Chain A
Amino acid sequence: MRIDEKLQRALHDEADAVDPLVDPDASAWTRIQARARRRRMERRAGIVTLAAAIAAVVAIGAVVLNDGDERVRIVPANTTTTQETAMSTTTTTAGRPSEPALFPGVWPFTSQAEVEAYERDPGVGMFNDPTQTALEFAREYLKFPDPVKVSGDDRRITLAPKKGSPLRTVVEVADVGGGDGPYAAVGASTANIKVTRPARGSTIPNPVTLTGNSTAYEATVNVEVRQDGGDKLGETYVMGGANGEFGDFAGDLTYSPPTKKAGALVFFTESAEDGGISEATVVRVAFGSTEKPGGVTRFSVFFHDRNGKLVEVARESGHTPGVLRAALESLFAGPQAEDGAGITSVFSTKTTGLLAGVTLRPDGTAVVDINDTVDNANSSEGSRILLEELNATVFQFSTVKRVEYRLKGSCDAFWQWLQYGDCRTVPRP
């Protein structure tokens, strides 16, 4: 008898010996029904508990460690807090309890809807296992070269970036499914990068202040702001200690306006040996309004100088249904007197109100519709200038992956007016 036949017989013999009850009135069915009821109740209770926990954090306001000579006052919500630090005094507005709760997951689930979608179709079920979740997080989100587990339990898993590396990052995972998975990574930490600001779960302003204590090769710790889904909104680096000596770091990071409500700050170092990412600290954060305390939104528009070179001009807006819309409205209003001499554009006060509509689709496609043609913009030089200014203004926002322009609702009409032919989509440069 062949090995496969022997195996088949052994499996059937073995299985035939197992005879569970199949009567739905029997105990297995009763247990399933009882557990299903309990699961529904736990899920409801879990959502309420999570919301309450987040609301409690939000209600406390800014939670910052009392570190060195940094002094922080903890005050109730719905008030404005003043954080007095050794470096500067900044004012931020605490969150309101009525704001939606911050989902704890950084990756791969950043909302309850994503968890539920996964539960419906778990594929190989990788994220039902906490260790696999931690390893995939390290590989896919942190970009570790070949992470390996060193130690840990079901909640805190210590990883090395690759076999043989002495560096360690602890990935914290949480059950986001209500009892037995799936799991999501909710944060990470390395002993070599300790972050004191922003605090975990806090709502960050833009720019966000970064403080902490670190040791790294050439003292350099890289920092990225990523929104849910992984898009990078901004990056910088801070300098702490080097060669095993710890030193304080401090800096500010300005980032592109987010399109998601939450994300994470990722602090990481790169290997001196091969440039790979070798350790990381990840802090879950919510994004505050893009409005500054005075109710002002900042962005840029792009015009040209006398030499035909594209120039960036800062703008602010007091009321913004959307920052992309505000930027386009400001672009179409043309250069202002305060921009100084020498700034030119195909847009001017005559084209104020040119914007018929703008939408940003979930796939990153911006659709920009104008309601009229623009004088002198359909010559070869005019269309080059118009497209450069439009593209630069639209693509300053990292969430815009491509743009489709329309004239009175027609993409063909836009490109035919500029004598480029038929409809096309402009990809992010």
Chain B
Amino acid sequence: MMTTMAFKDTAVRRRPEEEVSDLFRAEYRSLVRLATLLLGDVGAAEEVVQDAFVKLQVGWARLRDPDKAPAWLRSAVLNGARSRLRRASVRKRHLEPVPSPTATVETDAVAHDERRRMLAALRTLPDRQREALVLKFYMELSEAETAAAMGVTAGSVKTHVHRGLASLEAALQEES
């Protein structure tokens, strides 16, 4: 009761749409990229991210700490991507690399091939290892932030990263 009273008394509150609109501008692009790296499918990634924003907006009034909304969105995107992958239909498609709209004939063929093989190997890793690697090396989150987003301990993140990198290295060596 005390909390509710305090909340009501302190605030000239913005509408959820306004709050979420700001977050959309700040976070949407990076979240779609994150989800694309996890799912390998831009369309599926956009759906997962939009779904996270829908949940956030619908539940905004119940959010205890609006400052944590970006972290909440990251977790929601990870969960959504995980569910998508389990539903399997995406799994077949995501083995195909996403065509790069910026690729040109001048693209370095060797680098492109290495990237393709790296991403293909990444997508064969267990979900947790792939998530830990993408959060650390793409989102550049700290171990603590990665752990919070994944809902695991920092020690677990270290293990997933270590094992993931070892598996990637082995997969790339095997291919070459």
A residues near B (Cβ < 8 Å) are 3-4, 6-20, 22, 24, 28-29, 31-33, 35-36, 39-40, 43, 116, 119-125, 128-129, 131, 180-181
Contact check: which of B33, B62, B78 meets A125 at CB < 8 Å?
B78
User: Is A32 in contact with B57, judged by CB distance below 8 angstroms?
Assistant: yes
Q: A32-B54, A120-B64, A125-B78 are in contact. Are A3 and B169 (CB under 8 A)?
A: yes
User: Is B28 in contact with A20, judged by CB distance below 8 angstroms?
Assistant: yes
The 23 listed contacts between A and B (C-beta, < 8 Å) are: A3-B169, A4-B137, A6-B118, A7-B133, A8-B138, A10-B122, A17-B99, A17-B102, A18-B98, A19-B29, A20-B29, A20-B32, A22-B29, A31-B50, A35-B51, A36-B57, A40-B58, A121-B72, A122-B75, A124-B151, A125-B75, A128-B83, A131-B86
User: Is B58 in contact with A7, judged by CB distance below 8 angstroms?
Assistant: no
B residues near A (Cβ < 8 Å) are 17, 20-21, 24-25, 28-29, 32-34, 36-37, 42, 45-46, 50-51, 53-55, 57-59, 62-64, 72, 75-76, 78-80, 82-83, 86, 97-103, 114-115, 118-119, 122, 133-134, 137-138, 150-152, 165, 168-169, 172
Contact check: which of B34, B102, B165 meets A4 at CB < 8 Å?
B165
Instruction: Report the Cα distance A40→B62, complex, angstroms.
Output: 14
User: Is B42 in contact with A116, judged by CB distance below 8 angstroms?
Assistant: no
Task: Pick from A13, A20, A119, A121 the residue with the most CB of B within 10 Å.
Answer: A20
Interface SS of chain B: helix
User: Is A128 in contact with B79, judged by CB distance below 8 angstroms?
Assistant: yes
User: Is A33 in contact with B17, judged by CB distance below 8 angstroms?
Assistant: yes
Closest to B26 in A: A22
Instruction: Report the Cα distance A89→B150, complex, angstroms.
Output: 56
Contact check: which of B29, B76, B168 meets A7 at CB < 8 Å?
B168
Q: A128-B83, A129-B86 are in contact. Are A39 and B54 (CB under 8 A)?
A: yes
Contact check: which of B58, B64, B102, B134 meets A16 at CB < 8 Å?
B102
User: Is B54 in contact with A3, judged by CB distance below 8 angstroms?
Assistant: no
Across the interface, which residues of A come within 8 angstroms of B80, CB to CB?
128
**Nearest Cβ on chain A to B23's Cβ, whole angstroms:** 10
User: Is B133 in contact with A32, judged by CB distance below 8 angstroms?
Assistant: no
Instruction: Report the Cα distance A404→B21, complex, angstroms.
Output: 51
User: Is A124 in contact with B152, judged by CB distance below 8 angstroms?
Assistant: yes
Across the interface, which residues of A come within 8 angstroms of B21, CB to CB?
24, 29
Instruction: Report the Cα distance A131→B87, complex, angstroms.
Output: 11
Across the interface, which residues of A come within 8 angstroms of B32, CB to CB?
18, 20
Across the interface, which residues of A come within 8 angstroms of B98, CB to CB?
14, 17-18
Across the interface, which residues of B come within 8 angstroms of A6, CB to CB?
114, 118
Q: A7-B133, A10-B119 are in contact. Are A124 and B103 (CB under 8 A)?
A: no
Across the interface, which residues of A come within 8 angstroms of B79, CB to CB?
122, 124-125, 128
User: Is B42 in contact with A18, judged by CB distance below 8 angstroms?
Assistant: yes
Q: A13-B115, A17-B100, A124-B150 are in contact. Are A7 and B165 (CB under 8 A)?
A: yes
Across the interface, which residues of A come within 8 angstroms of B54, CB to CB?
32, 35-36, 39
User: Is A119 in contact with B29, judged by CB distance below 8 angstroms?
Assistant: no
User: Is A14 in contact with B114, judged by CB distance below 8 angstroms?
Assistant: no
Closest to B169 in A: A3
Closest to A5 in B: B137
Across the interface, which residues of A come within 8 angstroms of B165, CB to CB?
3-4, 7
Instruction: Report the Cα distance A40→B59, complex, angstroms.
Output: 9
Q: A4-B165, A14-B100, A18-B98 are in contact. Are A36 and B137 (CB under 8 A)?
A: no
Nearest 9 CB-CB pairings of A with B: A125-B79, A124-B151, A17-B100, A15-B33, A11-B138, A10-B118, A10-B115, A8-B137, A20-B32
User: Is A116 in contact with B51, judged by CB distance below 8 angstroms?
Assistant: no
Instruction: Report the Cα distance A13→B24, complex, angstroms.
Output: 23
Across the interface, which residues of B come within 8 angstroms of A40, CB to CB?
58
**Nearest Cβ on chain B to A38's Cβ, whole angstroms:** 9
Instruction: Report the Cα distance A14→B64, complex, angstroms.
Output: 35
User: Is B59 in contact with A119, judged by CB distance below 8 angstroms?
Assistant: yes
Instruction: Report the Cα distance A14→B86, complex, angstroms.
Output: 23
